[in-house]
């Protein structure tokens, strides 16, 4: 269960998140959508205990993110949008390191790492033979995803997890997410690829300018707004006007 | 599963963090298709060992263990301190690493201790390299006991702990005192302050040594009590020297001060202030660029002044840099010099040396004649070292832009960066230090000796353009690299500038000064043109 009440994050005079309130029951797969700069990543960072809120409260599985950040961090997994990892390490070294941070002994972590490696088609030579700086973006993303799931978290936050994944890996990953949700894990999935969210998420929350502007099932939102797809709903609620005219003007300016 | 709380250190996590930080900082990192080997640290260790070896030879000339220990300790503190200040920003406040570690269940104390210990490990590595010869040569210092090497090892370990503790403490206090909005600019100033303290602390003492029956510094001098190298020299004398009874009342409080300061700094930084550190670390990667609302009137006024000068400035820049690529590189560089925390924190400690040498000239009138020379050495070093620093950035992946844009060579990029460092680094620093020197120097005849070195300065700044492709901000920061750059250039500058100044002084005494300058000008102009041509025709090498 994730419970957010009046959550605010302010930077100087800029309010990135403006009094967000939300409840996500355990085992739900929620798509968190919003245009660039809407406050999605900031919200996730507050929920993972990485960033202190300016005001308001947030609880993850009953733990307060401000007063019990370590308890929160033990039960959440997070795939950051940046895909940052220690690139000078091999994948095996990095994943063993992450496992140690969760006190998973090596004799337990290695089988889990091997399992993920098989799932993502990473062979042993890739896993141990070269630093991750030599990996493709997709291979790095596979390691980032593995590192978020290694400790079997109860709540998982994915921020643009499909970044760099090829079509096969993306398909496997989407299946994995659905399986995780069936196992009762709470999943918050942030993405700009709306059709993926449309197909997987049982509930969609749309944030715009730091506020929730829509919350419900895909079908419910479509009915509410009178639109025929999630993309149209999203566009209606968050897009600035005259997109088409602006695009044509931009193209004309380039050709001049 | 037993996990530690936020208020205590988790041993399992600490070990994992230490192992990973060490690997991540010392291993090769592939960038833009090239593998970057960590040569910086190896070079630094070798250079430190040589410099320490030369310093260690003074054991044959000093009057006692205290003088030997204070000179070697001062040298260790200076060199290790400077490298540490250059590396501390990347180790302590790495925003990228926050994305990797920020959501893991690591308590702030564990995280800070891991980073502080990594800094200590680097410091210890450097001070041990520096002291390889002094460990043994110290046995020749009058009064040294047979167990001197062991005592020296212990003292050097403590001194390194003090240095790293001081740096961590300063930064952590800064995070407590200063809000996020001002942290970046204040951190640069604090870093400058720490650099000045390290240089002053290590440079003043050797200048106060008297030449009476060999080199001798009496521990009875009261002002030694405020100098950290003296604290550790006192401890070493008590452990492995033969102090006189009259010296004990002075040595004991100094040694106690060293031990107390080391423990207090470590305790305060890691135990008392770690929570503030964790909070600041979190905010570093989060805060947007625009932080403080500016009053509308002040903003309008500033904007108005900037607008008024803009056309003149632009015209001046176009005249100085007709090539638009060069101007773009100039603007890119100045933006990073002004705004990027990582670049600023590696770049600005270089200023410290300029401010310190004029200060020493003021307090050491007997030896102040050498100060113009030292300032010129630093002057020769500054543009070249700044340019090397500006090759590195945490945003190094963005350097790909130079690979996919149609650039035939790197000359325009190189000159854009060079001009930015000359205008915004070398010029203000030389003006300030020159003014300070003129104010404190009474005997200005020495200034004539530095003219041949001054003639060489513009050419010295071209050397970097011949070493590989000069692509600004395109390499990842690497442990030891900044220190290696500073030390390597310092040695090269000392040799070149020292040789030229000696020649200038000699020519002045013999009445050949005009001839020397004429010949040098001809050689330097030819060399300058050759270097410029070499840089201009250099093609951008394809990636391996």
Of B188-202, B383-397, B462-476, which range is least confident? Answer: B188-202
Alpha-carbon distance A194 to nearest alpha carbon in chain B (angstroms): 25
Is B188 or A32 the better-scoring residue by pLDDT?
A32
Asked if the Cβ–Cβ distance from A89 to B16 is below 8 Å, we say no
**pLDDT tens per residue, range B375-434:** 776 777 788 888 888 988 888 878 878 877 778 788 999 999 999 998 988 888 778 777
Q: Which residues of B33-68 are buried (b: 16+ CB within 10 A; e: fewer)?
A: ebebebebbebbbebbbebbeebbebbeebbbbbbb
Q: Which residues of B75-89 are buried (b: 16+ CB within 10 A; e: fewer)?
A: bbbbbbbbbbbbbbb
Name the interface residues of A facing B (CB cutoff 8 Å).
11-14, 16, 42, 45, 48-52, 69-71, 73-74, 76, 78, 80, 82, 84-89, 93-94, 97-98, 100-103, 131, 133-134
Q: Rounded to whole angstroms, how far apart are CA atoms B511 and A151?
A: 80
Rounded mean pLDDT, B482-495: 71
| Predicted ipTM > 0.85 | no
Asked if the Cβ–Cβ distance from A101 to B6 is below 8 Å, we say no
Comparing CA positions, the residue from B234, B238, B249 lying closest to residue B70 is: B234
Q: Which residues of B touch A13 (CB under 8 A)?
A: 293
Q: Rounded to whole angstroms, how far apart are CA atoms B520 and B517?
A: 5
Measured in whole angstroms, how far is the alpha carbon of residue B177 from the centre of its chain? 24
Rounded mean pLDDT, B331-359: 77
Residues whose CB falls within 8 Å of the CB of residue B509, separated by 6 or more in sequence, listed in order = none
Q: Which residues of B touch A88 (CB under 8 A)?
A: 23-29
Is the same domain home to B146 and B84?
yes
Is the same domain home to B278 and B386?
no
pLDDT classification of B32: cutoffs 50, 70, 90 = very low
Of B24, B97, B98, the CB nearest to A88: B24
Q: Which residues of A touch B1 (CB under 8 A)?
A: 103
**pLDDT tens per residue, range B204-236:** 666 666 555 567 777 877 778 888 888 999 999
Rounded mean pLDDT, A12-28: 89
Task: Look at residues B268, B283, B298 and tell me which one is the last residue of a structural domain.
Answer: B283
Of A80, A86, A101, the CB nearest to B105: A101
Of A150-159, A205-214, B510-519, which range is least confident? Answer: B510-519
Rounded mean pLDDT, A123-140: 86
Asked if the Cβ–Cβ distance from A102 to B99 is below 8 Å, we say no
For residue B412, being part of any structural domain is answered with: yes
Q: Rounded to whole angstroms, how far apart are CA atoms A196 and B60?
A: 77
Q: What is the pLDDT of residue A123?
A: 86
Is the same domain home to B219 and B353?
no
Nearest residue of B to residue A73, measured between CA atoms: B105
Is the same domain home to B402 and B518?
yes
Of B5, B15, B103, the CB nearest to A78: B103
Alpha-carbon distance A19 to nearest alpha carbon in chain B (angstroms): 18
Task: Look at residues B283, B307, B336 and tell me which one is the last residue of a structural domain.
Answer: B283
Find the domain containing B380 and state its range. Answer: 315-537
For residue B55, being part of any structural domain is answered with: no
Q: What is the pLDDT of residue B543?
A: 64
Asked if the Cβ–Cβ distance from B105 to A87 is below 8 Å, we say no
Is the same domain home to B341 and B404?
yes
Q: What is the pLDDT of residue B260?
A: 95
Is the same domain home to B322 and B258?
no
Asked if the Cβ–Cβ distance from B29 to A88 is below 8 Å, we say yes
Alpha-carbon distance A76 to nearest alpha carbon in chain B (angstroms): 8
Is the same domain home to B109 and B193?
yes
Comparing CA positions, the residue from B468, B472, B459, B375 lying closest to residue B422 is: B459
Rounded mean pLDDT, B479-501: 72
Asked if the Cβ–Cβ distance from A74 to B288 is below 8 Å, we say no
For residue B292, being part of any structural domain is answered with: no
Name the interface residues of B facing A (CB cutoff 8 Å).
1-3, 5-6, 12-13, 15-17, 19-20, 23-31, 96-107, 181, 279, 282-283, 286-288, 290-293
Rounded mean pLDDT, B507-520: 85
**pLDDT tens per residue, range A229-251:** 888 888 888 876 677 788 888 88
Is the same domain home to B445 and B328?
yes
Is A179 or B280 the better-scoring residue by pLDDT?
A179
Beta strands at A211-216 and A203-208: parallel, antiparallel or unpaired? antiparallel
Is B100 or B34 the better-scoring residue by pLDDT?
B100
Share of chain B above pLDDT 90, in %: 15
Q: Total domain count for chain B? A: 2
CB A216 within 8 A of CB A227: no
The token pair that represents B322 in the structure block: 């007709």
Asked if the Cβ–Cβ distance from B103 to A97 is below 8 Å, we say no
For residue B478, being part of any structural domain is answered with: yes
Question: What is the interface size between A and B, counted as CB pairs within 8 Å?
Answer: 104
3-state secondary structure string, B307-368? HHHHHHHHHHHHHHCCCHHHHHHHHHHHHHHHHCHHHHHHHCCHHHHHHHHHHHHHHCHHHH
pLDDT classification of B297: cutoffs 50, 70, 90 = very low
For residue B39, being part of any structural domain is answered with: no
Q: Please state the pTM of the whole predicted model.
A: 0.75
Tally of CA atoms within 13 A in the half-sphere of B518 that contains its CB: 4
3-state secondary structure string, B229-259? HHHHHHHHHHHHCCCCHHHHHHHHHHHHHHH
Q: What is the pLDDT of residue B91?
A: 77
Mean pLDDT of chain B: 78
For residue B1, being part of any structural domain is answered with: no
For residue B309, being part of any structural domain is answered with: no
Q: Give the number of other Cβ atoms within 10 Å of residue B382's Cβ.
A: 26
Of B104, B288, B291, the CB nearest to A101: B104
Is the same domain home to B72 and B203?
yes
For residue B217, being part of any structural domain is answered with: yes
Of A13-22, A104-113, B475-484, which range is least confident? Answer: B475-484
DSSP 8-state symbol, B543: P
Is the same domain home to B265 and B323?
no
Q: What is the pLDDT of residue B354?
A: 66
Say what the alpha-carbon torsion angle A212, A215, A218, A224 is, to the nearest 10 degrees: -100
pLDDT classification of B289: cutoffs 50, 70, 90 = very low
pLDDT classification of A92: cutoffs 50, 70, 90 = very high
DSSP 8-state symbol, B214: S
pLDDT classification of B38: cutoffs 50, 70, 90 = low
Alpha-carbon distance B11 to nearest alpha carbon in chain A (angstroms): 10
Checking if the pLDDT of B33 tops 50, the result is: no
Q: Rounded to whole angstroms, how far apart are CA atoms A141 and B459?
A: 47
Checking if the pLDDT of A206 tops 90, the result is: yes
Nearest residue of A to residue B104, measured between CA atoms: A73
Is the same domain home to B149 and B214?
yes
Rounded mean pLDDT, B142-158: 92
Mind giving me the DSSP string for B273-315? Answer: SHHHHHHHHHHHTT--S--SPPPHHHHHHHHHHHHHHHHHHHH
Q: What is the pLDDT of residue B93?
A: 76
Is the same domain home to B177 and B264?
yes
Rounded mean pLDDT, A66-70: 88
Length of chain A measured in residues: 256
Rg (CA), chain B: 25
DSSP 8-state symbol, B392: B
The token pair that represents B169 in the structure block: 């403490």
Task: Look at residues B283, B300, B327 and tell me which one is the last residue of a structural domain.
Answer: B283
Rounded mean pLDDT, A39-48: 91
Of A54-63, B237-246, B291-300, B320-329, which range is least confident? Answer: B291-300
Q: What is the pLDDT of residue A147?
A: 93
């Amino acid at each position: 269960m994730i419970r957010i009440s009046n959550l605010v994050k302010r930077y100087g005079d800029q309010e990135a998140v403006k009094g967000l309130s939300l409840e996500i029951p355990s085992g739900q797969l929620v798509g968190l959508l919003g245009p660039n700069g809407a406050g999605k990543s900031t919200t996730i960072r507050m929920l993972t205990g990485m960033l202190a809120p300016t005001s308001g409260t947030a609880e993850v599985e009953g733990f307060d993110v401000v007063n019990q950040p370590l308890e929160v961090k033990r039960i959440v997994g997070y795939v950051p949008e940046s895909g940052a990892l220690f690139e000078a390490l091999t994948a095996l070294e990095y994943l063993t390191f992450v496992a140690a941070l969760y006190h998973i002994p090596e004799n337990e972590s290695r089988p889990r790492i091997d399992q993920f490696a098989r799932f993502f088609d990473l062979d042993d030579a890739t896993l141990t033979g070269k630093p991750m700086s030599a990996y493709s973006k997709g291979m790095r993303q596979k390691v980032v995803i593995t590192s978020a799931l290694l400790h079997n978290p109860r709540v998982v936050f994915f921020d643009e997890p499909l970044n760099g994944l090829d079509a096969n890996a993306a398909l496997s990953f989407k299946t994995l997410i659905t399986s995780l949700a069936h196992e009762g894990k709470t999943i918050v999935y942030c993405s700009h690829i709306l059709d993926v969210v449309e197909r997987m998420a049982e509930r969609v929350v749309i944030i715009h300018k730091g506020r929730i502007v829509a919350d419900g099932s895909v079908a419910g939102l479509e009915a509410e707004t009178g639109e025929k797809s999630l993309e149209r709903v999203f566009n209606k609620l968050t897009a600035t006007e005259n997109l088409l005219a602006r695009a044509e003007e931009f193209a004309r300016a380039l050709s001049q | 599963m037993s996990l530690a709380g936020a208020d205590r250190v988790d041993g399992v996590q600490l070990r994992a963090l230490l192992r990973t930080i060490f690997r991540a900082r010392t291993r090769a990192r592939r960038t833009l298709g090239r593998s970057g080997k960590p040569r910086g640290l190896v070079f630094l260790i070798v250079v430190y060992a040589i410099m320490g070896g030369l310093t260690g030879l003074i054991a044959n000339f000093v009057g006692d263990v205290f003088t030997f220990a204070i000179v070697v300790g001062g040298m260790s503190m200076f060199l290790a301190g400077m490298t540490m200040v250059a590396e501390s920003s990347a180790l302590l406040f790495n925003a990228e690493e926050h994305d990797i570690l920020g959501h893991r269940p690591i308590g702030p104390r564990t995280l800070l201790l891991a980073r502080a210990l990594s800094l200590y490990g680097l410091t210890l590595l450097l001070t041990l390299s520096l002291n390889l010869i002094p460990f043994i040569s110290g046995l020749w210092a009058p009064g040294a006991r047979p167990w001197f090497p062991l005592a020296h090892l212990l003292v050097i370990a403590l001194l390194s702990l003090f240095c790293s503790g001081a740096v961590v403490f300063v930064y952590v206090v800064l995070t407590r005192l200063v809000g996020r909005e001002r942290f970046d600019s204040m951190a640069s100033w604090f870093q400058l302050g720490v650099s000045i303290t390290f240089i002053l602390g290590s440079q003043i003492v050797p200048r106060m040594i008297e030449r009476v029956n060999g080199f001798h510094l009496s521990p009875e001098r009261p002002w030694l009590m405020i100098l950290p190298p003296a604290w550790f020299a006192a401890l070493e004398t008590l452990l492995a020297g033969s102090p006189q009874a009259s010296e004990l009342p002075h040595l004991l409080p100094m040694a106690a001060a060293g031990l107390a300061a080391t423990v207090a700094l470590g305790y305060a930084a890691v135990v008392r202030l770690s929570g503030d550190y964790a909070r600041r670390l979190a905010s570093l990667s989060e805060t947007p660029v625009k932080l403080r609302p500016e009053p509308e009137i002040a903003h309008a006024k500033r904007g108005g002044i900037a607008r008024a000068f803009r056309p003149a400035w632009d015209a001046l820049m176009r005249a100085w840099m007709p090539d638009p690529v060069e101007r773009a590189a100039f603007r890119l560089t100045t933006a990073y010099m002004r705004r990027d925390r990582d670049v600023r924190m590696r770049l600005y400690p270089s200023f410290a040396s300029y401010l310190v040498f004029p200060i020493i000239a003021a307090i050491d009138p007997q030896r102040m004649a050498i100060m113009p020379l030292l300032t010129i050495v630093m002057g020769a070093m500054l543009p070249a070292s700044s340019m090397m620093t500006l090759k590195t950035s945490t945003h190094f992946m963005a350097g790909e832009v130079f690979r996919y844009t149609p650039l035939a060579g790197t000359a325009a990029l190189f000159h854009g960066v060079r001009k930015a460092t000359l205008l915004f680094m070398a010029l203000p620093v030389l003006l300030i230090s020159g003014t300070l020197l003129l104010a404190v120097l009474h005997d200005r005849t020495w200034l004539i000796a530095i003219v041949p070195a001054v003639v060489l300065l513009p050419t010295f700044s071209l050397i970097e353009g011949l070493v590989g492709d000069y692509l600004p901000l395109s390499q990842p920061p690497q442990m030891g690299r900044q220190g290696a750059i500073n030390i390597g250039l310092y040695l090269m500058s000392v040799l070149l500038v020292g040789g030229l100044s000696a020649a200038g002084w000699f020519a002045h005494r013999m009445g050949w000064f005009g001839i020397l300058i004429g010949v040098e000008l001809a050689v330097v102009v030819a060399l300058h043109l050759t270097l410029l041509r070499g840089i201009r025709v250099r093609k951008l090498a394809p990636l391996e």
